[in-house]
């Protein structure tokens, strides 16, 4: 079994799919047998030439990205930029048309079970087993991960308390609000203490107190060596919370690096608007004026 990353074989863009020039894949540490990237040195997530098309629509255009281990990485971009599609392919939920992804050096699509063992994922728009109670859902997530019942029970209690869901532990998830559903999905992603957390819009619909609690949980997770990737539309939040950021638009990575590198002395929001463009006036909506 080799996890040696190979150069993507599609750099010329088969089917006329335009792709960005692929950077070198994650390098193996010198002396690593078989050339596999060293687990300690490989990026937490490495993406090479990842592409997806839906009919004529190129959702993700052959992107490359390295997420350093131990980073708090923000993924920002306008609606329809390709964030969810990219994260779904990166976490083994959606098969890419082209490209490769490694999680801590493990090829996600060649070795999905091994890769998923070290990831916790909060996907966007994926249906939950919502006829379970919140407590049952998180317990199920832990048992699916092969954890023993005692550990699962104690972690479920901890997570429900930390996310302010203890009082609703026995409520069916189908009856949860949008924010509660986000929080129970996050608990399910955290239960096995993964090395990498990939969270698609974790703060959407979550109240400010819960959002602050979640930020604390994620910050201490990163301080203890974990890696977090969050997609968000809230630039201020990303600027305050994350140490790295990638700006995605039209299926391309427009900028990536540390937050300070990307924003280059301006606010992240200003940088985002400049990179992405698309500001429009309301002149075409004159009929909407009431006086
Ligand atoms: N299953 C699908 N079938 C067809 N088109 C899709 C599908 N999923 C996504 N797309 C298209 O791919 C593009 C990227 O969508 P994606 O959901 O990845 O964007 P996003 O950056 O997550 O957007 P948002 O911020 O609005 O959630 C969009 O144009 C979308 O319409």
Q: Name the most confidently modeled range: 3-7, 8-12, 119-123.
A: 119-123
What are residue 141's phi and psi, to 5 degrees?
-60, -40
Beta bridge partners of 51: 61, 98
Q: Which atom of ligand 1 is nearest to the CA of 200?
A: 22
User: The tokens of 115 are what?
Assistant: 């890769």
Residues 134-172 have pLDDT tens digits of 999 999 999 999 999 999 999 999 999 999 999 999 999
- Calculate the CA dihedral of residues 278, 282, 283, 287 and round it to 10 degrees: 140
Cβ neighbours, 10 Å, residue 164: 14
Asked whether 61 lines ligand 1 (CB < 6 A), one says no
Residues 89-125 have pLDDT tens digits of 999 999 999 999 999 999 999 999 999 999 999 998 7
Atom 29 of ligand 1, nearest CA residue: 80
ipTM above 0.85, yes or no: yes
In contact, 241 and 219? CB cutoff 8 Å:
yes
Beta bridge partners of 101: 47
- The band of 40, judged by pLDDT with boundaries at 50, 70 and 90, is low
Mean pLDDT, residues 31-53: 71
Is the torsion defined by CA of 186, 189, 193, 198 positive or negative? Answer: negative
Asked whether 76 lines ligand 1 (CB < 6 A), one says no
Atom 27 of ligand 1, nearest CA residue: 79
pLDDT higher than 50, residue 3: no
DSSP line for 170-221? TSBGGGS-HHHHHHHHHHHHHTT--SEEEEESTTTT--HHHHHHHHHHHHHH
How many angstroms is it from 5 CA to the middle of ligand 1?
A: 28
Q: Which atom of ligand 1 is nearest to the CA of 60?
A: 14
Query: Residue 74 half-sphere exposure, CB side, CA atoms within 13 Å?
Result: 29
Asked whether 189 lines ligand 1 (CB < 6 A), one says no
Q: Which atom of ligand 1 is nearest to the CA of 81?
A: 21
Q: Which atom of ligand 1 is nearest to the CA of 86?
A: 18
- The band of 42, judged by pLDDT with boundaries at 50, 70 and 90, is confident
């Amino acid at each position: 079994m080799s996890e040696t990353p190979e150069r993507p074989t599609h750099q010329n863009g088969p089917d006329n799919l335009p792709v960005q020039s692929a950077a070198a894949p994650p390098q193996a540490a010198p002396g690593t047998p078989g050339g596999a990237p060293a687990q300690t040195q490989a990026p937490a997530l490495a993406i090479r030439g990842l592409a997806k098309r839906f009919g004529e629509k190129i959702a993700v255009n052959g992107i490359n990205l390295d997420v350093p281990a131990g980073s708090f990485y923000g993924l920002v971009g306008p609606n329809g930029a390709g964030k969810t599609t990219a994260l779904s392919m990166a976490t083994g939920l959606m098969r890419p048309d082209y490209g490769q992804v490694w999680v801590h050096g493990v090829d996600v699509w060649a070795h999905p079970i091994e890769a998923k063992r070290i990831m916790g994922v909060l996907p966007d728009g994926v249906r939950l087993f919502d006829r379970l109670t919140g407590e049952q859902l998180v317990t199920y997530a832990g048992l699916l991960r092969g954890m023993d019942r005692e550990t699962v029970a104690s972690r479920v209690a901890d997570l429900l308390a930390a996310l302010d869901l203890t009082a609703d532990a026995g409520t069916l998830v189908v009856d949860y609000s949008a924010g509660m559903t986000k929080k129970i999905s996050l608990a399910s992603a955290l239960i096995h203490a993964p090395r990498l957390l990939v969270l698609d819009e974790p703060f959407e619909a979550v109240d400010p107190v819960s959002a602050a609690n979640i930020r604390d949980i994620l910050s201490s997770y990163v301080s203890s060596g974990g890696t977090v990737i969050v997609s968000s539309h809230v630039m201020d939040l990303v600027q305050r919370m994350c140490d790295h950021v990638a700006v995605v638009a039209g299926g391309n990575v427009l900028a990536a690096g540390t937050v300070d590198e990307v924003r280059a002395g301006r606010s992240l929001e200003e940088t985002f608007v400049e990179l992405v463009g698309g500001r429009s006036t309301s002149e075409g909506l004159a009929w909407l004026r009431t006086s």
